Amino acid sequence: MKLNDYGELNQSQLMSYCGLNNVKHKPIIDELVEKGLIIRFEEPWGEQNRIIKYRVSEKGKEIVASILEPYELLFPRSEKKKHEDSR
């Protein structure tokens, strides 16, 4: 869900935001890629280096929406609730 919130993140950011260890938990990320829930891509960095980045796939977005929408109806995020209350 963090990836859905941020759009795209490099591998270190993704692991850090999710509280995961780069080495120990990388198989979790690999499995999400294999299942088509997130997309792994490389972005050039400098002349010879590349950064591995991830973004949520359409399939992943559908799953996140199916989980978050009902939850947020019951427990709205404070910013969203403040906006609705001010109407």
CA pair distance 10, 71, nearest whole angstrom: 28
For tokens 């891509």, name the residue: 41
For tokens 């850090």, name the residue: 16
What does pTM read for this prediction? Answer: 0.71
pLDDT at 47: 86
Mean pLDDT computed over 59-81 = 82
Burial 66-77 (b: 16+ CB within 10 A, else e): eeeeeeeeeeee
Of 84, 76, 34, 80, the closest CA to residue 57 belongs to 34
Mean pLDDT computed over 71-76 = 87
Provide the CATH number for the domain formed by 2-85 in this structure.
1.10.10.10
pLDDT at 82: 47
Tens digit of each residue's pLDDT (9 = 90 or more) over 37-50:
999 999 988 888 99
Residues whose CB is less than 8 angstroms from the CB of residue 12 and which lie 6 or more positions away in sequence, other chains included = 22
